[in-house]
């Protein structure tokens, strides 16, 4: 069990040793720890090794010139210059927030970035400005379009954060697949089957074996099978891909560069790096912020008071599970499984820092 | 079989007889016929009776003052003044398009509206301006949040239209439930079962009986059951509800007024009428439009070339099925089932116009 502060300091030190400036290392560490605290460990400490190896392979720019390359009053395209994803994403969201201050809303498409951790982190940055925050990103292709067996899309998440008055904010942060890639990996490690409707084999037959992904299989989109509307999940995932990549000039779909160094760079590219999309809407560009936030309180109270199904004691609001997890882990500390612990020790030794 | 022009003229005449101005009646008829031609008959001629009865009950304003009540450079809130939904929605999308011309993007939340037909119609209006178009709406509550049995949300659709260069545009238009309400009604009429994962009974038990909706049951969100990520569909549906209603001051979730006159108005309201949300993004606020549209051609060609699963001969792009349907029905005409035909004859007689 590690206090989150210990993991924050370690993560910051790792990225500083890799050559990142202090401000950048702070942001990077903050996103890593936010992922752990919010219960998305698949985007937490386990990813440090990936970044470390990408850096050793010269596939990450630790001194990037993250900059606006095109803009209008409410929009910008940001070039991440090969930055650690958190650095490009954080700067892009700041630009979206600045745009909204004058134009009412801000919309930023970012190219030349890398894996940025959890989308919800950036969406939530809007909250303290009384803005709605939105964040999308594309990701390494693992997911097949409806009626296809080709891996064309990532788990392409959508995050939306909406402020309330007395209630905690509404924060949705979800992949556009029925299940996260990380959860399939866990099931595979445990030798467990998964429900049909999450993955398929290399002919498109339904499978309950998570290891099918290593045998030419693919993940299905939200909806699962055709009878349950997986073409809608395909639409969603495609929209995230186009907004994140085509709009700003990043690589789309099957051309997204691998976020791990053990996979080679692709031969063909359709843009620069991984792409993200950020949105901000200033509440008072629509109505006075307090009135809106009080109505959001009523929205949240109304939905919280809806009748639970048999066997459940309450109905949740998006953001509840992550907030509960965070409260717990801030107090109790973060568990790191031993394989990851060993990886981090090796990295620490390589970089001449300490991890115990 | 009716030529679409015949149904357009009839629909226009119905709404003119109800007191709508000619421009408004034109738009209304255009949306009704677009729904039929694109294969969404559940939003087509079948709904004329609903509107007619709402009008007779004095629940529709045929001479509305649709107007902006709050704005910023990139945003507006529009009050529909109780208009036919198509009128309020069409005007709102026009405002979003105008906003984008100067601010780069336009975002309009509309209150005081009614059922507006198909969301894709408004999203597609952006295409000829080299803009991406977005349209959301809330709707009568039929759908339960995850682990709840209360009907809290509508089938809350999302439409996104994205222009391409030589290819036809990408047009996604889908409900945030696994299946449309209309398709459940069809299954019920035929006495057919539906797959588990679409509806549940009044205790939250899975059901394969579409008629369960008349017995206190509810529809499930996209994803279907918990194992297939229905909490993500809940997030989506909730986001659509909040953007469409809370942002502009319409009624949210369970307070959305009925779109049929045989259901009484609710006792409590949280805003005005039904709510919609419209978005436009000018492509050249991000990059030159032609470059983007050519990259969209490549996106579409790439996805179209992905490998079909066994038993399928091609992979579709969002918008393909509706476009194929439209091509066919423009040529062959539109079938109206006899029960609807009889309803339309009664309405025609009442209004002193002709329908055969």
DSSP codes of every residue in B9-58: HHHHHHHHHTT--HHHHHHHHHHHHHHHHTT-GGGTGGGHHHHHHHHHTT
pLDDT one-digit tens code per residue, B108-140: 999 999 999 999 999 999 999 999 999 999 999
Please report, for the domain that includes residue B204, its CATH number. 3.30.60.50
In what side-by-side order are the strands of the sheet with B218-219? B206-207, B199-200, B218-219
Which residues 286-325 in chain A show a CB within 8 A of chain B?
Answer: 286-287, 292, 295-296, 298-299, 302-303, 306-312, 314-316, 318
**Model's pTM, two decimal places?**
0.98
DSSP conformational letter for A264: P
Residues B116 and B170 in one domain: yes
Give the tokens for residue A333.
């500390």
Give bridge partners of residue B282 from the DSSP assignment. B131
- Distance between CA B153 and CA B292 in Å, rounded? 36
Question: What sign for the dihedral angle of Cα B90, B92, B98, B100?
Answer: negative
**Residue of A110, A145, A280, A297 best to disrupt the B interface, most CBs of B under 10 A:** A145
Task: Please indicate whether, in this complex, the C-beta atoms of A174 and B103 are within 8 angstroms of each other.
Answer: no
* Predicted local confidence at residue B138, as pLDDT: 97
**CA A86/CA A33 separation, integer angstroms:** 12
Residues A33 and A113 grouped into a single domain:
no
Cα A313 from chain centroid (whole Å): 30
**Which tens digits make up the pLDDT trace of B217-244?**
999 999 999 999 999 999 999 999 999 9
User: Does A271 share its domain with A341?
Assistant: no
Query: Which CATH number characterizes residue A57's domain?
Result: 1.10.1530.10
Query: Would A192 be classed as within a structural domain?
Result: no
- Asked if residue B209 has pLDDT above 90, the reply is yes
Domain assignment present for B32? yes
What separation in angstroms does the CA of B226 have from each of A160, A178, A230, B279?
Answer: 21, 9, 15, 31
Residues A76, A3 share a domain: no
Compute the C-alpha angle A81/A42/A206, nearest 5°. Answer: 105
Long-range contacts of A96-100 (CB under 8 A, 24+ apart): A96/A126, A96/A278, A96/A279, A96/A280, A97/A125, A97/A126, A97/A129, A97/A131, A97/A280, A99/A73, A99/A74, A99/A75, A99/A280, A100/A74, A100/A126, A100/A129, A100/A131, A100/A280, A100/A281, A100/A282, A100/A285
Reference A291, options B267, B323, B226, B111; nearest CA is B111
Contact B54, B88 (CB under 8 A): no
The CATH number covering residue A87 comes to 3.30.1370.60
Residues in A touching B312 (Cβ below 8 Å): 147-148, 204
Same domain for A3 and A129?
A: no
Residue A209, in any domain of the structure: no
Same domain, B264 and B356: no
Any idea what the Cα angle at residue B231 is, between residues B119 and A228, rounded to 5°? 60
- Please give the pLDDT value at position A297: 98
Opening angle at CA A175, ends A171 and A176, nearest 5: 120
Mean pLDDT, all residues of chain B: 97
Please name the residues between 13 and 72 in chain B that touch chain A, using a CB distance below 8 Å: 70-72
From A58's Cα to the closest Cα of chain B, the distance in A is 28
Range of the domain at A74: 64-138+152-174+232-286+295-306
- Give A44: exposed, middle or buried? Use CB within 10 Å, 0-12, 13-18, 19+: buried
| Number of domains chain B is built from | 3
Which residues in A lie closer than 8 A to residue B302 (C-beta atoms)?
A: 152, 252-254
Q: Is the same domain home to A86 and A24?
A: no
Nearest-CA distance B241 → chain A (Å): 10
Q: List the one residue out of A311, A297, A299, A244 whose CA is nearest residue A275.
A: A244
Residue B303 pLDDT exceeds 90: yes
- Residue-level pLDDT at A185: 86
Q: Is residue B277 within 8 Å of A237, Cβ to Cβ?
A: no
Quick one: pLDDT band at residue B18, thresholds 50, 70, 90? very high
**Which positions in chain A touch B71 (Cβ < 8 Å)?**
104, 285
Angle between helices A4-17 and A338-351 (to 10 degrees): 40
Residue B112 Ramachandran class (φ > 0 left, ψ -120 to 50 alpha, else beta): left
| Cβ pair A176, A156 in contact under 8 A | yes
Residues B166 and B237 occupy one common structural domain: yes
Instruction: Label residue B181 by pLDDT band (50, 70, 90).
Output: confident
What is the interface size between A and B, counted as CB pairs within 8 Å? 296
Contact B75 A204 (CB under 8 A): no
- Classified as helix, coil or strand, A258 is coil
Q: Is the pLDDT reported for residue B183 higher than 90?
A: no
Instruction: Please state, for a pLDDT cut of 90, what percent of chain B lies above it.
Output: 96
Whether residue B147 is found in the same domain as residue B295: yes
Is B259 a domain residue? yes
Looking at the structure, tell me whether residues B200 and B91 fall in a common domain: no
pLDDT class of B190 with cuts at 50, 70, 90: confident
Residue B189 has pLDDT above 90, yes or no: no
Residues B188 and B163 in one domain: no
Q: Tell me the CA distances in angstroms from A152 to A181, B309, B312, one per residue in order.
A: 15, 13, 17
| CA-based nearest residue in chain B for residue A231 | B318
pLDDT for residue B180:
87
Residue B27 to residue B8: CA distance in whole angstroms: 10
The confidence band for B334, taking pLDDT boundaries of 50, 70 and 90, is very high
Whether A267 and A162 map to the same domain: the answer is: yes
A280: in domain: yes
CB B137 within 8 A of CB B157: yes
Give the pLDDT confidence score for residue B111 in this predicted structure.
Answer: 98
Whether residues A147 and B103 touch (CB distance < 8 A) is answered with: no
In a domain, A37, yes or no: yes
Average pLDDT across each block of 10 residues of chain A; the chain has 356 residues. List them in order.
Answer: 97 98 98 96 93 96 98 98 98 98 98 97 98 98 98 98 98 96 86 95 97 96 94 98 98 96 93 98 98 98 98 97 98 94 97 96
* Structure confidence at residue A87 (pLDDT): 98
Strand, helix or coil at A342?
A: helix
| Surface of B (216-275) touching A: CB under 8 A | 222-224, 227-229, 231-236, 238-239, 241-242, 246-249, 252-254, 270-271
- Is there a contact between B107 and B96 (Cβ–Cβ < 8 Å)? yes
């Amino acid at each position: 069990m590690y206090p989150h502060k210990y993991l924050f300091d370690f993560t910051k030190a790792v990225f500083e040793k890799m050559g990142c400036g202090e401000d950048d290392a702070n942001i990077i560490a903050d996103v890593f720890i936010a992922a752990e605290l919010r219960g998305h460990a698949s985007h937490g400490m386990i990813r440090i090794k990936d970044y470390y190896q990408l850096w050793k392979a010269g596939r990450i720019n630790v001194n990037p010139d993250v900059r606006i390359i095109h803009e209008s009053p409410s929009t910008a395209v940001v070039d991440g210059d090969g930055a650690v994803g958190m650095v490009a994403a954080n700067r892009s969201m700041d630009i979206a927030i600045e745009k909204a201050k004058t134009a009412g809303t801000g919309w930023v498409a970012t190219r030349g970035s890398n894996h940025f951790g959890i989308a919800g982190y950036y969406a939530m940055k809007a909250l303290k400005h009384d803005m709605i925050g939105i964040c999308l990103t594309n990701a390494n292709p693992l997911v097949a379009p409806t009626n296809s067996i080709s891996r064309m899309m990532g788990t392409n998440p959508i995050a939306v954060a909406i402020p309330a008055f007395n209630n905690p904010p509404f924060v949705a942060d979800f992949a556009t697949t029925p299940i996260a890639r990380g959860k399939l990996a866990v099931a595979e490690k445990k030798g467990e089957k998964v429900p049909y409707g999450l993955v398929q084999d290399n002919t498109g037959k339904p499978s309950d074996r998570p290891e099918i992904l290593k045998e030419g299989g693919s993940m299905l989109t939200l909806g699962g099978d055709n009878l349950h509307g997986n073409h809608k999940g395909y639409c969603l995932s495609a929209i995230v891909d186009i907004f994140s990549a085509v709009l700003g000039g990043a690589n789309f779909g099957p051309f997204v560069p691998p976020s791990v160094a053990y996979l080679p760079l692709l031969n063909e590219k359709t843009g620069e790096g991984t792409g993200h999309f950020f949105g901000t809407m200033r509440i008072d560009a629509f109505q006075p912020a307090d009135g809106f936030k009080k109505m959001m309180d009523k929205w949240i109270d109304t939905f919280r008071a809806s009748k639970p199904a048999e066997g459940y004691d309450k109905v949740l609001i998006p953001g509840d599970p992550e907030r509960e997890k965070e409260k717990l882990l801030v107090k109790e500390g973060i568990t790191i499984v031993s394989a990851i612990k060993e990886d981090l020790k090796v990295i620490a030794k390589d970089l001449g820092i300490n991890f115990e």
